[in-house]
Chains A and B, each alone.
Chain A
Amino acid sequence: MNSLHIYIELLGEAFLALRDNRLRSLLSVVGIAIGIAAVMTVSAVSSGGKAFVIKELETFGLRSVWVFRDYADKDPNRRVRQGSGLVEQDLAILSGECCPAVHRFSPVSLVENDPIIQWGNRYSNAEIKGVNASYLAINNDRLKLGRGFRQEDIYSRRPVVLVGETVSKDLFPQTGNPLGRHFRIAGRKYRVIGVLQYKSRDLLASIGSEGGEDANNRILLPYTLVQQINGNQEISYLQAEAVSLNQAERAAAQLKQVLERRYRGAYQYTQVTLASYLKTVDRILGGITAMGVVAASTSLLVGGIGVAGIMSTAVVERIREIGVRMAIGANRRHILFQFLAEAVLISVIGGIAGLFVGLLLGGLLDLVTGFPLIPTPSGILTGLTVSVLVGLASGYYPARRAAAFLPVEALRRE
């Protein structure tokens, strides 16, 4: 208790010493602050970047997997049938207990010839997809207006459609609400039963990976109607939802295996999962973060070396004071603690300043670029812990040197 009180008072002594050397203390505080702010910003950029990418990938449904025929990879000795490699009859098998990792799936049929989409003298260049009742949930689509497909819509081939916002604007510009309106695809009339909610894919659009596909310029039909338009029973590809994100590869593999067995290798299939994209994103961001952290840590290291230098100078300059303190009753531990406390104070003050600068910088970047920087509580805690550790590490040797003097030696120095 008594000795705890001494150490609390020594903390005060350390603070006074810093105040006596204001400019110098400030400079070393700045050194640490820059380092901590850099580390903070880098880690915030990486977590913000990931959140940014995930937000866009979510518009495909994170657990989505795709299976489609691989045209490139065929056995030259075998005669392969023409077609997409997927037909109506396959669905019954896939719906069975073949694929425990698959939560649900939807066949997707694309229209083979570009049909004219028209209402009066207005036209749309939307992309048409034939899907089933599960598709909206799998693809993480929500409805702004109306309802989605029901089983009966699919089986009874009802001429009903869901449209994206762009389609709605192109065909029905004067009315806000297109529900119940009709338009024509390849001459046949369809009724709008729902409008899809707007989907933002700014990052992907800017990268151009989707080749200009616009999520808001889509028309969804019961796939059975697309088959009717095409005049066959084919399905272009399957989009399924895995039971969980880390089951995605397995879900795709299970679907693929069932199909390949069914056709005894006549068709080969390719699988694509968002999970694997996520892994790639993680790897890239992890690499960028690691490099950034190394660079930022270097600046923190420089800050720490600065503190060590300042403390070494302080020990040399105040060696007489050290001797006096020893003469009037300080023991080695008291001296060690006081100088260590000075170093830790410098770097903790620097750490707190750095956190604020980091937050400010993150906020500014977010404002300017819209790129969210997320400083996590654990990141902030890490920043503070690191600054305490930097203080201890950089103060340890100077403080130990200060404490190791024989009082008479310290008093003799000028």
Chain B
Amino acid sequence: MIQIEGLYKSYWRSGIELVVIHDIDLAVSEGEFIAIMGPSGSGKSTLLNIIGCLDIADRGHYQLDGQTVDPGIPHHLARLRARYIGFVFQSFNLIPTRSALDNVALPLLYQGMTRSARNSRARSALQRVGVTDRSAHLPSQLSGGQQQRVAIARALVNQPRLLIADEPTGALDSHNSSQVMTLFRELHDEGHTLVMVTHDPAIGERADRVVILSDGAVVS
């Protein structure tokens, strides 16, 4: 599913190069659940964003589902995001002025789907994450756990093959965390490929494989 070779990214700050991703090789096969761990600032989010085609590397080779990802072509990246990838963020990132249902249905708008088709797909996605009775609520009227489940429904509504989550439980209490993790586990069991950044060793244990980053390099 994911084939990464020699990935390199750095930031220049006042003439000093800060290497964030240092020649990383990584392979993730279809259906795998990978947890990325490591100290703060080690480049976890950066790596995840590059995998998710939200960010671009300076060098290196990246293949997603057998297609070479060309970082120079924005609309190519956009198409890959739309077709393959669902995102879950630590801070939910729901659009605050739209209902839960509208938020979940939004990805389908960019696929050219009609409103009724979008809404019925969004409803079943909400059902999947268990927040059907709150579909007309605004994000501000939902608890953190509910917001994150709506966000997961939004990530799922496209039926993406790859789910990407950056500390999805980072803003949640332990109860909501474990609910969300159970959901991810189920999605994994259904065959989704999962790449997740986490600080929580307990969550790492539930992954198929843990990749540990330190100073932009894979240490194990």
* Bound complex: CA A280 to CA B175 (Å): 86
* Bound complex: CA A185 to CA B106 (Å): 93
Please state if B93 and A320 are interface contacts (CB–CB under 8 Å). Answer: yes
Which residues, 302 to 346 on A, are CB-close (under 8 Å) to B? 320-321, 323-334
Which residues, 58 to 86 on B, are CB-close (under 8 Å) to A? 74-75, 78-79, 81-82
Please state if B112 and A329 are interface contacts (CB–CB under 8 Å). Answer: no
**Binary CB contact string for chain B from 86 to 112 against chain A (1 if under 8 A, 0 otherwise):** 010100011101100000001101111
Collect the chain B residues with CB atoms within 8 Å of residue A324's CB.
93-95
Contact A6:B75 (CB < 8 A) given known A326-B81, A327-B87, A328-B154 = no
Which of A9, A327, A411 lies in contact with B109, CB distance below 8 A? A9
Collect the chain A residues with CB atoms within 8 Å of residue B154's CB.
328
Collect the chain A residues with CB atoms within 8 Å of residue B214's CB.
none
User: Which residue among B56, B87, B112 has the maximum number of chain A CB atoms within 10 Å of its CB?
Assistant: B112
* Bound complex: CA A20 to CA B97 (Å): 7
B159 at the binding interface (Cβ < 8 Å): no
Please state if A325 and B106 are interface contacts (CB–CB under 8 Å). Answer: yes
* Bound complex: CA A320 to CA B114 (Å): 25
Please state if B49 and A334 are interface contacts (CB–CB under 8 Å). Answer: no
A408 at the binding interface (Cβ < 8 Å): yes
Collect the chain A residues with CB atoms within 8 Å of residue B55's CB.
406-408
Collect the chain A residues with CB atoms within 8 Å of residue B75's CB.
331-333
A3 at the binding interface (Cβ < 8 Å): yes
Q: How large is the interface on A (under 10, 10 to 19, 20 to 34, 35 or more residues)?
A: 20 to 34
B27 at the binding interface (Cβ < 8 Å): no
Chain A residue nearest to B46 (CB atoms) is A408
Which of B82, B89, B114 lies in contact with A329, CB distance below 8 A? B82
Q: How large is the interface on B (under 10, 10 to 19, 20 to 34, 35 or more residues)?
A: 20 to 34
Chain A residue nearest to B45 (CB atoms) is A408
Give chain A nearest CB distance to B36 CB in angstroms.
16
Please state if B112 and A6 are interface contacts (CB–CB under 8 Å). Answer: yes
User: Which residue among B79, B93, B111, B115 has the maximum number of chain A CB atoms within 10 Å of its CB?
Assistant: B93
Contact A328:B78 (CB < 8 A) given known A2-B112, A3-B112, A5-B114 = no
User: Which residue among A2, A326, A407 has the maximum number of chain B CB atoms within 10 Å of its CB?
Assistant: A407
A13 at the binding interface (Cβ < 8 Å): yes
Collect the chain B residues with CB atoms within 8 Å of residue A13's CB.
109
**Binary CB contact string for chain B from 39 to 64 against chain A (1 if under 8 A, 0 otherwise):** 00000000001001011100000000
Contact A332:B112 (CB < 8 A) given known A324-B95, A325-B106 = no
**Binary CB contact string for chain B from 152 to 168 against chain A (1 if under 8 A, 0 otherwise):** 00100010000000000
Collect the chain B residues with CB atoms within 8 Å of residue A3's CB.
112
Please state if A331 and B79 are interface contacts (CB–CB under 8 Å). Answer: yes
Collect the chain B residues with CB atoms within 8 Å of residue A407's CB.
54-55, 81
Top 10 nearest A-B pairs (CB, nearest first) are A329-B82, A331-B78, A2-B112, A329-B110, A408-B55, A328-B107, A407-B54, A408-B54, A20-B97, A408-B49
Beyond A6-B109, A324-B95, A330-B78, list 9 extra A-B contacts (CB 8 Å).
A2-B112, A6-B112, A17-B97, A328-B81, A329-B158, A330-B82, A331-B82, A332-B78, A411-B89
